[in-house]
Amino acid sequence: MALAPSGGPVVAEVEMNAGADLGATTVRATVVQASTVFYDTPATLDKAEKLIAEAAGYGSQLVLFPEVFVGGYPHGSTFGLTIGSRSAKGKEDFRKYHAAAIDVPGPEVSRLAALAGKYKVFLVMGVVERAGYTLYNTVLSFDSLGKYLGKHRKLMPTALERVFWGFGDGSTIPVYDTPLGKIGSVICWENRMPLLRTAMYAKGVEIYCAPTADVLPSWQASMTHIALEGGCFVLTANQFCRRKDYPPPPEYTFGGLDEEPSPDTAVCVGGSSIISPSGTVLAGPNYEGEALLTADLDLGEIVRAKFDFDVVGHYARPEVLSLNVKTEPRHAVSFTG
Amino acid sequence: MALAPSGGPVVAEVEMNAGADLGATTVRATVVQASTVFYDTPATLDKAEKLIAEAAGYGSQLVLFPEVFVGGYPHGSTFGLTIGSRSAKGKEDFRKYHAAAIDVPGPEVSRLAALAGKYKVFLVMGVVERAGYTLYNTVLSFDSLGKYLGKHRKLMPTALERVFWGFGDGSTIPVYDTPLGKIGSVICWENRMPLLRTAMYAKGVEIYCAPTADVLPSWQASMTHIALEGGCFVLTANQFCRRKDYPPPPEYTFGGLDEEPSPDTAVCVGGSSIISPSGTVLAGPNYEGEALLTADLDLGEIVRAKFDFDVVGHYARPEVLSLNVKTEPRHAVSFTG
Amino acid sequence: MALAPSGGPVVAEVEMNAGADLGATTVRATVVQASTVFYDTPATLDKAEKLIAEAAGYGSQLVLFPEVFVGGYPHGSTFGLTIGSRSAKGKEDFRKYHAAAIDVPGPEVSRLAALAGKYKVFLVMGVVERAGYTLYNTVLSFDSLGKYLGKHRKLMPTALERVFWGFGDGSTIPVYDTPLGKIGSVICWENRMPLLRTAMYAKGVEIYCAPTADVLPSWQASMTHIALEGGCFVLTANQFCRRKDYPPPPEYTFGGLDEEPSPDTAVCVGGSSIISPSGTVLAGPNYEGEALLTADLDLGEIVRAKFDFDVVGHYARPEVLSLNVKTEPRHAVSFTG
Amino acid sequence: MALAPSGGPVVAEVEMNAGADLGATTVRATVVQASTVFYDTPATLDKAEKLIAEAAGYGSQLVLFPEVFVGGYPHGSTFGLTIGSRSAKGKEDFRKYHAAAIDVPGPEVSRLAALAGKYKVFLVMGVVERAGYTLYNTVLSFDSLGKYLGKHRKLMPTALERVFWGFGDGSTIPVYDTPLGKIGSVICWENRMPLLRTAMYAKGVEIYCAPTADVLPSWQASMTHIALEGGCFVLTANQFCRRKDYPPPPEYTFGGLDEEPSPDTAVCVGGSSIISPSGTVLAGPNYEGEALLTADLDLGEIVRAKFDFDVVGHYARPEVLSLNVKTEPRHAVSFTG
Amino acid sequence: MALAPSGGPVVAEVEMNAGADLGATTVRATVVQASTVFYDTPATLDKAEKLIAEAAGYGSQLVLFPEVFVGGYPHGSTFGLTIGSRSAKGKEDFRKYHAAAIDVPGPEVSRLAALAGKYKVFLVMGVVERAGYTLYNTVLSFDSLGKYLGKHRKLMPTALERVFWGFGDGSTIPVYDTPLGKIGSVICWENRMPLLRTAMYAKGVEIYCAPTADVLPSWQASMTHIALEGGCFVLTANQFCRRKDYPPPPEYTFGGLDEEPSPDTAVCVGGSSIISPSGTVLAGPNYEGEALLTADLDLGEIVRAKFDFDVVGHYARPEVLSLNVKTEPRHAVSFTG
Amino acid sequence: MALAPSGGPVVAEVEMNAGADLGATTVRATVVQASTVFYDTPATLDKAEKLIAEAAGYGSQLVLFPEVFVGGYPHGSTFGLTIGSRSAKGKEDFRKYHAAAIDVPGPEVSRLAALAGKYKVFLVMGVVERAGYTLYNTVLSFDSLGKYLGKHRKLMPTALERVFWGFGDGSTIPVYDTPLGKIGSVICWENRMPLLRTAMYAKGVEIYCAPTADVLPSWQASMTHIALEGGCFVLTANQFCRRKDYPPPPEYTFGGLDEEPSPDTAVCVGGSSIISPSGTVLAGPNYEGEALLTADLDLGEIVRAKFDFDVVGHYARPEVLSLNVKTEPRHAVSFTG
């Protein structure tokens, strides 16, 4: 919490396990609310290490970073597009954004794996992934032994995102069975996709990570709903960015505003939070600054919640409603032989 | 609102269509928050007529009643069950409850149809449906010409409900295409079923009715989430019941309490509300008494919201995630020939 | 009970509705345990009238006769058959048996209808039906207005029955919706056919009539099971026949015995009884002589029982187990044009 | 029978094969009537081993345990539910009950397989199966070589069971063709489902195992009826539990009673028995204490019984009555590709 | 050409069939270069009729309109989007755009069919299709008898188009076998998709229609290449729009420009043309105004060209390179039963 | 450019990176437009060295030679074939042509490798490859360290080429990942094969080499289209040959002409050029003589172009259109053991 004097308490009081010796696992989890160093991936990784170290210092076992923390979320940009036209400046903006993205695997992935191992945390990190000349909004997961586990690519970018990110497929919607529970990630408005969430529930997700860029109050309603619907802990991490976290104009301009924001203006106000399976808010939402939000997750809450409602178990009606998830990778071209 | 001096304004101020001439349809809708006259279906229907008349007097075109308004929600009952045993009193409780239920079609359905026609409202009414000796938690819909349109049976009862209600199937999940928009109903914790909601979205629901018995604050989060997820108006109606709305003890007892509640104790505190496709609360939630909650629904809001997110349209990924809904009726026995 | 000094009380004490004013319908029902006047159908019909009159005198609203009361059950006969050979005597036995059977419709049916109307009882009567040269084991039903309602032909004769009765089909398995409840009949070992019983349950049978010729104690177990399984009242009627109810030898001989039984020997010992939906025996079983067994059926018991178990309702799993009943008549030859 | 001095003889006298040399297989089978060690699955398994060893000592080849012997039947509990509300204590009760359940496959299944192999018995064991956060009422079967064969999940839980057990499907209704005959299991009130029984008959069940929690006398009628209807041996096993077999209050409370039962009060009185295809009771019912009930099953009885009545063979009428069983597993979500 | 005094000659001189009597079919085809009446679909259809009538007056048998002629191409709009934010004005812009779109089938489709029949032309018309709340960039085809044949939905919108148009699938890539030859349509930058073009070649396209919004000179290179690659006639139609064809500001604003364009400024400069299978330009490109471009297509050119190069025939290497086209419709939700 | 006084500037002005320090890689590339010394392979290689040295002198890092520069393109020959007959002269012509071809590997390949190393250029060289008695139209690649990397055999010869060249397979369609970018080659009308090009795109080709013998203006349209479609630099090299570059008649005759061309007649007029990913022509086309055409390739252009259109990335629809490339070598006979 050192980064955020206005933040909430480092460790939320979790009422439901007070005074009880339930024999259930408790996991200390930290959600990072911080800004990318835009166009500077090495500096962003340095900042990530500092934040991971701080969380580990509090005893956190799981650290979740915001959507595209590595690579950055281009708030206020339009990449020079209006319908039917595009600008040279916008194309060059994209070239720089492409340059700040990372290959998976690649040296930045190796560094992140090493950080997870060094600080002994399960690390969930949002990145901009570069696959040739198409970029993806991707989340990487690493275990506390420093092993890179895999990635989730956002299935469907939202609105303008569709002009700079490609679309994921069914081959990268993992849930990892870890000593801390079953952990998976769903990105931003993917969280509004009921079929994708159901796929995650079917994979048994217990700690549901929702890195996002949505700052509206209604986002908290969705997070609460998902906790209830899925009977899982929901952790949502958003960036808190000020204008000065982006290059100054004219290199980087904020569109859709009457005037250029001042350097200290918040251009993304966070809203990170942690919610229990019964819909109790354990930490956040914090809208005031960069912060680490930490809570102890009593995993026994999951079974207590699923007693009432198990969305893919006793409360499902598979003979009426059945979802099929196609998990094969989709390639325009495959080479065989 | 005559019934509820403590209720909110009769017509909510809907900010998004103030001063605009959008050419879009506006629908005035009323959500009824009132109690069943328990074990007395004729009196309940009389009360329904009074409430419909009042809503129609405000110009409402659509009136939604709570879950099982006709037949009643047996709050506090256990029907005499503990695991492995049952009581004669509980069986007799069920016989009375069965007697208060209605056949569909049947005389009570005809009366409701006549009320819809008389007051020229689209009527959505929760009832306990009797089909032989199994009861269903059912919602009936009637158009403003007085025609009975059809029913939705709750697919999956919740917790103890499973001992007194049967399970619906895929043949009764209708959405009606009406002059007021496409109207459908999902009951109580069915609203937590992402696959069922997706089926409703695929049918194009625009005015999503959610009769319920859930009084928790987290219910409002779910309603807001559904409005966002589905890009639809969400109307939720719950009963406001006091102890005295049920027969006095010993005929009817409230279990799970330290002592018998006083006659005026609220045993179901409502929480009815109306929410727009962008997540704006247009009316309610009201937790204070019986009330009519009314709002003007600017249907243009739907398309504005779906521009960002169309859950079964441009934001879906059907080649990865596809839901199948089996719509045939399920009968243990069919007779053919 | 005049016929049966050793019989049970005319009206069983039904403990579960003692002292209660439940508002439920109560039906007084009588099961007739008596013998055919063999080879003498007019005399059998006279006897039937006498028994109906007596039951009506007790206030009975429903009177059930045994399997093939009209026409008779040829106990002890072999119709001259051993495997691979037949006798002229046996053929002549069949000619007489065929002559004692009745056409449906026909004069005997008209007389039975008139009796039902005269005594204002719902009448269920077992008969041997003659259709050309094939006989059927049939049950006829008549309402208390004297109207013939229809027939059920035994679907599958048992053992040696297959040599003198034909097989019914799915066109004659009726359940009648009457002011006394829903009434249907299933004959003798048809009651061991779980699919046929399920068809009856699906038709909503509430008063399940089981005319029979089975005298074993295990028959009572089946009757109790059916009451529980179907959540219905079960009435079973068997003949009580002595040797002298059949023509004396050599016209009619009892096969398979070491010696000709004495005239007073019981060759069919009855076992008629009435059982409630919860498995309580309301009357019988009577193994001592001809008798009328009567009980008051509290129809409220049905809903109390189905609360726990509704075999074609809330306890069914139609998406896993589904029965199809083909109801069209089966004719070897059909004429169309 | 060492456990049950008040029990019946260890080996019932089976009259129908006395003095006969029929050439048919005889199987010695034991039904266990004993209580779970509640909330203590390792101790329950230890107790199971002791009982298996004892039965094997008598020469038993088949050992049947009661419904949910592993995991336990929560007699008297309500899991804190009244209609419309639930308690924190009830949720925690469920968490403990969930913790005592077993994964299939899993270490407890391996141990049970080893026991079957060690004592050379065909073992049929009722368990609470844990599948994620939904529990199932399941029966596991193991052959005498120590191989786990498969499971049956109860298709439809009864009454309050529906709040803590999920629903099986058509993929787990096995009948195993073994050297001892064809063996299958149907749980508690599933035995009242005529379509499910018919499915078992169609699979050729010869030794029909009916683990149960029903203690009423009418249960015996159903068991007799099934033996007759199916032409099979019926073995029914119930627990005999005293209050002290459950945790003391307040950890575990018995609802629906006027006062807390004394430690020695029987809260489940057994009624285990063994019945032949002709409806003869070979052992039990025992209502007096924990016991092993053993009988020698003359498999020749089956064909003798089916001569009269073969429910899916010569006595069926498939052109009129046909049952369809859907055997595919039902999953809310399937992953393909 | 009445509309376009600055246009080219009405009928291009097609040198390759001058003086020859080749016995091949010649088709007179017209490409329409004209602007939508933005936000006014009835007026746009009136304009379409006038243009079709004029083309028919020249003897044209085939008339191709530009991409989204009905509904309009929102040049210069951004729908209020910058990355991470959106405006109320932009949402309302979308609502109007959605209102100007057409249902397929629907009244506008019926009118277009009637026009094709009235003027006896094969009509290919670009429209904005409305499917619930998602829009598609669609081309409709009608035969000269006035029959609606089907549609092609653009598979992949370009750049900002992805925020207001959904994605087509493999079920709508038709080629129609007509008396004029095999006719198909590929929209705008879909023409850059080599796999989609190959699918069209494999369906045998002979008259390849390419409605577009691309005005760059390089577009002509692509059209020439496709004619060579596919061995087919290529017809490309673009709108010629002036600022005044759109609503004036502030209702409609052009983004990405230094200043608001004058009413007569061309905001889309056309470039429509017709090219032969050998790469010869038969008409256009016209960059000067609204125009009808007409050419006579000598279908014998196709076989002359394919002698050298048949992309899916003799010049293919299917054992090395094989394309699979999945043609089933993709629905997020399917209803069956 | 010394060889070609009429050629364009040695280094094209590339407008899009003027004055910018983009941090992107720039590659200087030279396309050789020159003629084979027909039937004289050693002399051809000497000429190649001279041209490489000159390009290296300009600072070129990549040198592309025309199709079959080594071995020669037999313009004007028919190898004595008319349909149904052949001549002895034609057979001898083939023998000589076969003699001028080179084995791969072989001494000429070694010499070419040495040249690449000596002049520190990435070398792409068209050759006639001799494999036993079948010849292939092949392109060889060498890195600037003098290493032979591999070959591409033309998959499908065009028209008469099919009588003297064999067909390649999927094992030789390489793209090399080099410090200069990803480099691959596609020969002549292979460039019209959309599936082969797509395979190259999927391999990530950034510098797309198109050695050719096509001199038509429409070839430039195809090159421009490929640059746009593939988002890559396209380099096309053709020979500029005069009659005198071939043996004089009667040893070598030009068929299909009215008269023997004069020695200085151009029999292949070149057309070599270099095009950027946005379709801008950076050098050429030169139709006037032998020449070296050189341009600086700003690789940043690739990402700027792919922002709009990534043919195998964000603009692909792999779930609809998927290409399979079989990469195994195809041998008429394989030996295994």
Chains that touch F (3 or more CB pairs under 8 A): A, B, E
Chains that touch B (3 or more CB pairs under 8 A): A, C, D, E, F
User: How buried is E47 (Cβ within 10 angstroms: 0-12 exposed, 13-18 middle, 19+ buried)?
Assistant: buried
Most confident of A60-74, D308-322, E21-35: A60-74
For testing the chain B interface, which of F317, F319, F320, F321 should be mutated: the one with the most B CBs within 10 Å? F319
Q: Which residue of A has its CA nearest to C318?
A: A319
Looking at the complex, report in whole angstroms how far the Cα of residue F78 sits from the nearest Cα belonging to chain B: 53
How many Å apart are CA E181 and CA E183, to the nearest integer? 6
Residue D229 has pLDDT above 70, yes or no: yes
Give the mean model confidence (pLDDT) for residues E149-164.
95
How many Å apart are CA B187 and CA E297, to the nearest integer? 62
Residue A127 has pLDDT above 50, yes or no: yes
- Other beta carbons less than 10 A from residue D114's beta carbon: 14
pLDDT confidence of residue D24? 59
* Residues of E with a known catalytic role: 67
Residues 102-141 of E with CB under 8 A from F: none
Q: What is the DSSP letter of D268?
A: E
Query: With contacts defined as CB-CB under 8 Å, which chain B residues touch C174?
Result: none
Looking at the complex, report in whole angstroms how far the Cα of residue C320 sits from the nearest Cα belonging to chain A: 9
pLDDT confidence of residue E25? 87
Which residue in the list C15, C49, C54, C67 is annotated as catalytic?
C67
Looking only at Cα atoms, what is the longest distance across chain D?
63
C-alpha dist (Å) from residue D105 to D113, D129, D329: 11, 9, 17
Average pLDDT, chain F: 91
pTM equals: 0.91
Examine residue E318 and say whether the peptide bond preceding it is cis (omega within 30 degrees of 0): no
pLDDT grade, residue C24 (50/70/90)? low
CB B127 within 8 A of CB B69: yes
Q: Which of C23, C304, C324 sits opposite B334 (nearest CB)?
A: C324
Q: Which residue of B has its CA nearest to D81?
A: B160
Residue F7 has pLDDT above 80, yes or no: no
Asked whether the beta carbons of residue B194 and residue A192 sit closer than 8 angstroms, the reply is no
The ipTM assigned to this model is 0.92
* Residue E162 β-bridge partners: none
Q: Which residue of B has its CA nearest to F319?
A: B319
CB E71 within 8 A of CB E39: no
Give the mean model confidence (pLDDT) for residues D125-154.
98
Kindly report, residue by residue over F249-300, the tens digit of the pLDDT: 889 988 877 788 999 999 999 999 999 999 999 999 999 999 999 999 999 9
Query: Angle at CA B263, nearest 5°, toward B261 and B269?
Result: 75
CA nearest to C190, candidates D276, A193, D321, D182: D321
CB D69 within 8 A of CB D239: yes
Kindly report, residue by residue over D262-272, the tens digit of the pLDDT: 999 999 999 99
Residue E8 has pLDDT above 70, yes or no: no
Residue C279 has pLDDT above 80, yes or no: yes
Tokens of F266: 């151009």
pLDDT grade, residue D255 (50/70/90)? confident
Asked whether the beta carbons of residue E160 and residue A161 sit closer than 8 angstroms, the reply is no
Residue F86 has pLDDT above 90, yes or no: no
Chains that touch C (3 or more CB pairs under 8 A): A, B, D
Q: Which residue of A has its CA nearest to E188?
A: A84
Kindly report, residue by residue over D283-318, the tens digit of the pLDDT: 999 999 999 999 999 999 999 999 989 999 999 999
Do B and C make contact via 3 or more CB pairs under 8 A? The reply is yes
What does the radius of gyration of chain B's CA atoms come to, in whole angstroms? 20
CA nearest to E66, candidates E160, E185, E167, E223: E185
Residue A23 has pLDDT above 50, yes or no: no
Percent of chain F having pLDDT more than 90? 81
How many Å apart are CA F206 and CA F197, to the nearest integer? 12
Q: Which residue of B has its CA nearest to E88?
A: B304
Q: Is D89 on the interface with C (CB under 8 A)?
A: no
**Which of A136-145, C228-237, F73-82 bottoms out in mean pLDDT, i.e. has the lowest?**
F73-82
Q: Is B322 on the interface with F (CB under 8 A)?
A: no
Chains that touch E (3 or more CB pairs under 8 A): A, B, F
Looking at the complex, report in whole angstroms how far the Cα of residue B324 sits from the nearest Cα belonging to chain E: 5
Residue A17 has pLDDT above 50, yes or no: no
Q: Is A310 on the interface with E (CB under 8 A)?
A: no
C-alpha dist (Å) from residue F145 to C205, F32, F112, F142: 93, 20, 12, 8
Query: With contacts defined as CB-CB under 8 Å, which chain B residues touch D73?
Result: 83-84
Tokens of E321: 């390179």
In sequence order, the 6+-apart residues with CB closer than 8 A to the CB of C192 are: C222, D228, D229, D309, D311, D315
pLDDT confidence of residue E337? 84
Q: Is C319 on the interface with A (CB under 8 A)?
A: yes
Hey, CA dihedral for F180, F183, F187, F189, is it positive or negative?
negative
Asked whether the beta carbons of residue B333 and residue C198 sit closer than 8 angstroms, the reply is yes
Q: Is A319 on the interface with C (CB under 8 A)?
A: yes
Q: Is A336 on the interface with F (CB under 8 A)?
A: yes
**Which of B139-153, C108-122, D301-315 bottoms out in mean pLDDT, i.e. has the lowest?**
D301-315
Q: Which residue of C has its CA nearest to D194?
A: C194
pLDDT grade, residue C173 (50/70/90)? very high
Give the mean model confidence (pLDDT) for residues A176-187.
97
Q: Is C225 on the interface with D (CB under 8 A)?
A: yes
Query: With contacts defined as CB-CB under 8 Å, which chain B residues touch A83?
Result: none
Give the mean model confidence (pLDDT) for residues D62-87.
93
Q: Which residue of A has its CA nearest to D155?
A: A314
Q: Is A20 on the interface with E (CB under 8 A)?
A: no
* Three-class HEC string of A18-36: CCCCCCCCEEEEEEEECCC
How many Å apart are CA A241 and CA A247, to the nearest integer? 12
Which residue in the list A54, A67, A206, A229 is annotated as catalytic?
A67
Kindly report, residue by residue over B227-241, the tens digit of the pLDDT: 999 999 999 999 999
Query: With contacts defined as CB-CB under 8 Å, which chain C residues touch B134?
Result: 306, 310, 313-314
Q: Is A253 on the interface with E (CB under 8 A)?
A: no
For testing the chain E interface, which of B314, B315, B320 should be mutated: the one with the most E CBs within 10 Å? B314
Within 13 Å and on the Cβ side, how many CA atoms surround D165?
28
Q: Is C259 on the interface with A (CB under 8 A)?
A: no
Asked whether the beta carbons of residue B198 and residue A196 sit closer than 8 angstroms, the reply is no
CB F40 within 8 A of CB F247: no
pLDDT grade, residue E41 (50/70/90)? very high
Q: Is B218 on the interface with E (CB under 8 A)?
A: no
Q: Is F171 on the interface with E (CB under 8 A)?
A: no
Residue E88 has pLDDT above 70, yes or no: yes
pLDDT grade, residue A9 (50/70/90)? very low
* Residues of D with a known catalytic role: 67
Asked whether the beta carbons of residue F314 and residue A167 sit closer than 8 angstroms, the reply is yes
How many Å apart are CA D274 and CA E241, to the nearest integer? 90
Tokens of D237: 């096993």
pLDDT confidence of residue E257? 72
In sequence order, the 6+-apart residues with CB closer than 8 A to the CB of B177 are: B204
Asked whether the beta carbons of residue D85 and residue B332 sit closer than 8 angstroms, the reply is no
Which residue in the list F13, F49, F54, F67 is annotated as catalytic?
F67
Give the DSSP per-residue string, D185-210: E--GGGGG-HHHHHHHHHTT-SEEEE
Looking at the complex, report in whole angstroms how far the Cα of residue A336 sits from the nearest Cα belonging to chain E: 10
Q: Which residue of D has its CA nearest to B189?
A: D84
Q: Is A231 on the interface with D (CB under 8 A)?
A: yes
Give the mean model confidence (pLDDT) for residues C4-22.
32
Looking at the complex, report in whole angstroms how far the Cα of residue C322 sits from the nearest Cα belonging to chain A: 13
Q: Produce one character per residue of F263-300: b if its CB has 16 or more CB atoms within 10 Å, e if not.
A: eeebbbbbbbbbbbbbbbbbbbbbbbbbbbbbbbbbbb
Tokens of E311: 């992309």
**Which of A104-118, B249-263, E91-105, F108-122 bottoms out in mean pLDDT, i.e. has the lowest?**
B249-263
pLDDT confidence of residue A24? 60
Give the mean model confidence (pLDDT) for residues F60-88.
91
Asked whether the beta carbons of residue E218 and residue F198 sit closer than 8 angstroms, the reply is no
Query: With contacts defined as CB-CB under 8 Å, which chain A residues touch E80?
Result: 256
